[in-house]
Every structure is written in C-alpha cells, then in structure tokens.
Structure 1
Amino acid sequence: MGTTQSPKHRKHLLDDTTKEINEWTGEAKAVEIHPLRMFSEVFDRHSQDDADEVFSAGTKVTTPPLAAVSDAPVKPWLFSRVLVILMVTFGLLLLLFYAFKNERVLPGLLVMGSLVVPLALVVYFFEVNVFKNVSIWRVVEVFLIGGVASMVATMLLYSLIPTSNGTDLWSAVLIGLIEETGKLLIIAIFINHLQLNYVFNGMLIGAAIGAGFAAFETSGYGMDYGLIVLMIRSWQAIGTHTIWSAMVGAAVVFAKDDYRPLTTQTVLRPKFMRFYFMAVALHALWDWRAPLAWLDIFYIHQLILIVLGWVVIFVLIEAGLREVRTLRQAGIPSEEHIFLPLP
C-alpha cells in the first residue's frame, strides 16, 4: 500500500512546494515541472546555422519586438553542445596529463575543469531568455568582470565581518550571507546599469555573475587541493553559485518598481527578500556539515539541494513566461522593448 502511494505523495509534495514558491512570484498555483519536455530538443539534430542563430541574439538587428517574444515553454539545447565541447577538451587535457605525464597542461586543466559546468549553465540561461535582448558579448563581459568583481565584493565583506572556516550551521549561514550579498551588489549594479527589467534578464545576469564566481573559486580550490577536488566541485557546480545567483538576479528585478532603478528601499519588498534568503539558505545548507552520516553517502546532501535549487529555477522560468504574457496583454508598444547597445 505504501509503495503504490509513494509516487502520489511525491507529486503532492512537489505541487505544494512549487505552489508555495510560485506564490512568492505573485501567482497562487502549483507549477507543472516537465524536464523531459524542456530538454527534448537536446537530443534533436541541429545545424551550425541553428547554433549561430542562437548566439546572434541580442544585437540591434536580432532583438525581437515585444509582440514577437514567445511565451511557449522554453526548450534550450545549445548549452548541451557547449557542455560536450568543454568536457571533451577537459578529457583530452587529462589524457595529456596522465598518459603522457605532461605537467604543462595543469594550468589548462584548472581552467577547463572550472569552466565546464558554469559556462554551459550560462549558455542555458542565455537560451532561456526569450526576450533575446542581451547579446552573448554582453554575457561574456558580465561573466568575466562581474564574476571577479563579485569575488572582490565578497572579500571586502569578509574583511568587515568576522567568520570562521568551520562547517557548523552558524559559520555556514554567515558564509552564505556574505557571499550571496557580495554577488548581489554586483548583480544589482549590472542590472541597474543595463536597465534590465524582466525576470529572464535578471536570471541571466545573475547566472553569469554566479558562474564567473564559481569558475574562479573552483580553479583556486583545484590549485590548492588537486584534480579530484576540482572534478568534484565541477559537477557539483550544476547546483551552486550559478543557480543561486540566478535566483538573486530574479529577486533584484522583482524588487524594482515600475522598471525604475533599484534602491535600498525596494530591496525590503517580500518578493526580493524571499528569493534572496532562499539563495542564502541553499548556500548555507550546502556548506553545513549536517550531523547525519547518511547524507554523505553518494553525495545525498548535495543532490537534495541541487534538486531543490532547480525546482526554484523552474518556478522562476514559469514566472518569466507569465511575465511575457502579461506584458503582451497589457499592450506595451514594441518600441519600449529594451535593446542594450555596447558602451
């Protein structure tokens, strides 16, 4: 009896969770999560022209008017090709290192191992941005400058707030607060500077900054602790800084008032606070060494948090599609759709 009911109970739990999170975005209903549908095009054939078309988005010519923006379920695929290319490159570098004892490839291993998952995730969020109003050039700029700047902001906060390197809950909470706040400051600066107003835009900018943070941080850990730690942190990056910062980026957009710049007052809004503290909580729980030994078996602790983090992301994607429908129904003129020229 219990076995036959378990899928139903899991469905109710998922529905309750997505409904609660979706209420934070302004809609009181559960979100249907269909990962197989979302990733269905990953296994389809795509030409080089298809890839070029995806990467051409965000220019003055290729940014569509708001009336042409699709609110259909997103089906990104190019990120998987980027992931394969990065993995193959990393694999060849490992071959050079282990089979041919070539130690000169170690810097390349550190760089590529750190980039594999974060960079693929950036492409994923680039594809998910259905407004297509941010160019890949801009994303690379945010990834590099924003990633390093967020580390600088974090280090400044660490110098002001005493913390320890422990894995107890309080230390983990402090680390989560400091690092997510450091990234938040840079995310807010970029979103304000680029005058971005849409949920998908906020997620993309947040993800790019979080991915940069993750890549540079992981390369440092790899240098200190070796290739095994590098590879562990690499696959775990699917559920860490990149998606946490995507949540914070969405929260920044939620906090803006009628597309006006973010202020210290607007960050007190519940929509912002809930998603910001969700990112902090996920970060803290990730760093916390829970007093339950079974959570360390096969990385159960991390896998649970990865799934929960992606549930939040899927809800935010649904909120972004709902925003598209709302804007189109409101009849906002297409010329008000934002195009981001290069500086």
Structure 2
Amino acid sequence: MKPKLWRRIFVIGLLLWTATVAVTAWTGNSNLVPTVVLFGSFLVPVTFVVWAYGRGRSPGVTVERLFMAFVVGGILGVLGASLLESWLVHPSITMYVLVGLIEEGVKLAALVFVTRHMERRFTRDGVVLGATVGFGFAAFESAGYAFNALFSADGLSLAQLVETEVLRGILTPVGHGLWTAITGGALFAAGGRLASARVVLTYLGVSALHALWDSMTAIAIAITLVLTGQPWQFRELRIGMVPHVTDWQVHVFTIVNWAGLIVISLVALVWLWRIVASTRREPQIRPNNHGNERVPPTAPDA
C-alpha cells in the first residue's frame, strides 16, 4: 500500500463531499442527498480503516477480509443491534448499559464471524480487523442518523444533515472503531476464545465505556444541577416541570459534557495503546522481498 494513502483518500473525499453539499444547496437537487449522506458517513471510517491497514499486519489480513469486516461485519452489527435493542431496551435507568452491552456484543460476534477461517491470530491483526468492523458499524449507523437529521418541522434540512455528519465524523475515531479495536485485540490475544477471562473482561469494560459515552449528556445535566442548581429549579423538577436554565448553566453543562467525552476517549486510547505495545512480544512482522507486503517469521495463514 502506498504511504500516506489514507491522507489522499481523506482530502479527495472531503473535497468531493464539500462540493456535493455546495451543489446540493445551490441547486436544491434532492437527488444528490444520498450522495451527501453516503460520502459524509463513510469518509472518516474508510480513512481510518486504510490508516490502520498500513500500520502493520500479517498476510492473513487481506483486502478481501478487510472488505468483509467493514461491510459484512458492519451490517451484521447494525442489524443485530437494531433487533436486540427493539426487544430489550426500554426507557429506564439501565438503558445505556443495555445499549453498550448489546452493541459491543454484536460487533464482537460479527468480528468472530468474519474471522472464523483465520488460523493464525496475531493481536495486531485483531486490532485492525476489530477497528474495521467497528468503523463499518459506525458508517452505517451514521448514515441512518444523517438521514433522520434531514427531516425537520419545516421540511428537508440540508444544514441539519451536514451538522450531524460533521459532528459524528469528528467523534468517529474515538467511538465504535476504537472500542471494537480493543475487543478485537483481546480476542486475538486469547487465540479467538470468546469464553476466556481476558475477552469477557475486555468486553464488559468496553461496554461500560460505551454506556458512559452514550449517557454523558444525562450525567453532565446531573452534575450541572448539583454544582449550580437553584432551589426553584429543584422544586420544578419535583413536580415534573422542565426548569429554565441560565446561560452559566449552559456553559457548565457544555464543559462537563465534553470533558467527560475526552476522559472516556483517553481511557480507551491508553487501553488500546497498551494492547498494541504488548504485540512487541509476538513474532515480529517484517517486509518480504517485494517490499510491499509483510510476513511473520513463521508460515503465513493458510
């Protein structure tokens, strides 16, 4: 793979997406909306998959397997999560915990499915393929969010669609792809054994990070009220009213919310870094005679 290919993909994709948004806004041509949705939803996930692919892997991580992990794994994850959440998740105090367990569980199951024929399992390969499944999940999920954001009380809103895609694109690298990279690394480090203590504990830990991420808005509201709440606001809450908030409280909420998301992301990034650092004890991956492939000292995957 050509060096820095991921940069070219991102820059060219971003320019094309920006041009599509501009032409759609200028002409009002609704036929271009699907292009805006797909480009905006897939640009960042695809870029990060290409980046991860070039960071070191064994021959078992082929382009075909990567494609399967992104498309098949991503779609299976989205479908599985949609079914299970419609059956099991209802508004309650445990809602976010269930969502975290379900979505991380279906992504892990999808990873197991698309890598079931791999014989040799290197931890770094698990990280790359896990991230790919997670980014596939994120891409298809973001497309759904972007599509829903298109509809407003005043009709179709291109502005809401673009805002949704920009925000989700910024947050994508520290979301689904990062979490599933961690579980993928743990799974491959355990030789693909789902029942191993390492995989189970990693799955529960990543699900907890996912639940905290999803519930951060509610947590930030609670912390803001504890720190700055006025007696009259608590009285209104007790009788079921939504109290008016001050400008200062809006600022506090924003700071707490983003600070929480940053802390969650840093915890996940440090966790992934430790997993990748542990791969130094595995057989090293070295270039072959062609200079564009990497092979381990032992025989490659069948």
1:233 alignment counterpart:
168
2:178 alignment counterpart:
243
Contact 2:69–2:111, Cα closer than 8 Å, also in 1: no
Moved more, 297-306 or 196-205: 297-306
Moved more, 193-202 or 203-212: 193-202
Q: Structure 1 CA distance, aligned partners of 2:121 and 2:261?
A: 32
1:184 aligns with 2:108: yes
1:217 aligns with 2:141: yes
1:92 aligns with 2:51: no
Task: Report how many aligned residue pairs link the two structures.
Answer: 250
Deviation of 1:88 (Å): 1.6
Q: Structure 2 CA distance, aligned partners of 1:89 and 1:194?
A: 37
TM-score of the pair, normalised by structure 1: 0.66
CA RMSD of aligned residues (A): 2.5
Look up the equivalent residue of 1:163 and give its one-letter code. Answer: V
2:269 alignment counterpart:
310
* Distance change in 2, residues 1:280/1:87 (3 Å): same
In structure 1, runs of 5+ residues without a counterpart are: 1-49, 55-76, 257-261, 327-332
**Matched position secondary structure for 1:208:** helix
Q: Structure 2 CA distance, aligned partners of 1:124 and 1:182?
A: 24
Q: Deviations over 1:194-253 (max 9, x none)?
A: 334111111122111111111111110111123122221121111111111111111211
* Distance change in 2, residues 1:164/1:158 (3 Å): same
Q: Structure 2 CA distance, aligned partners of 1:280 and 1:325?
A: 31
Contact 1:267–1:273, Cα closer than 8 Å, also in 2: yes
Q: Deviations over 1:92-135 (max 9, x none)?
A: 11111223333321111110111121111111221123324422
2:62 alignment counterpart:
135
2:129 alignment counterpart:
205
Runs of 4+ aligned residues of structure 1 deviating over 4 Å after TM superposition are none
1:336 aligns with 2:299: yes
TM-score of the pair, normalised by structure 2: 0.75
1:106 alignment counterpart:
33
Q: Identical aligned pairs, as a percentage? A: 25
Look up the equivalent residue of 1:164 and give its one-letter code. Answer: H
Q: How does 1:60-71 map to 2 (within 5 A)?
A: none
Q: Structure 1 CA distance, aligned partners of 2:147 and 2:106?
A: 23
Equivalent of residue 296 in structure 1, options 223, 237, 254: 254
**Matched position secondary structure for 2:283:** helix
Q: How does 1:26-105 map to 2 (within 5 A)?
A: 51=2, 77-105=4-32
Look up the equivalent residue of 1:223 and give its one-letter code. Answer: F
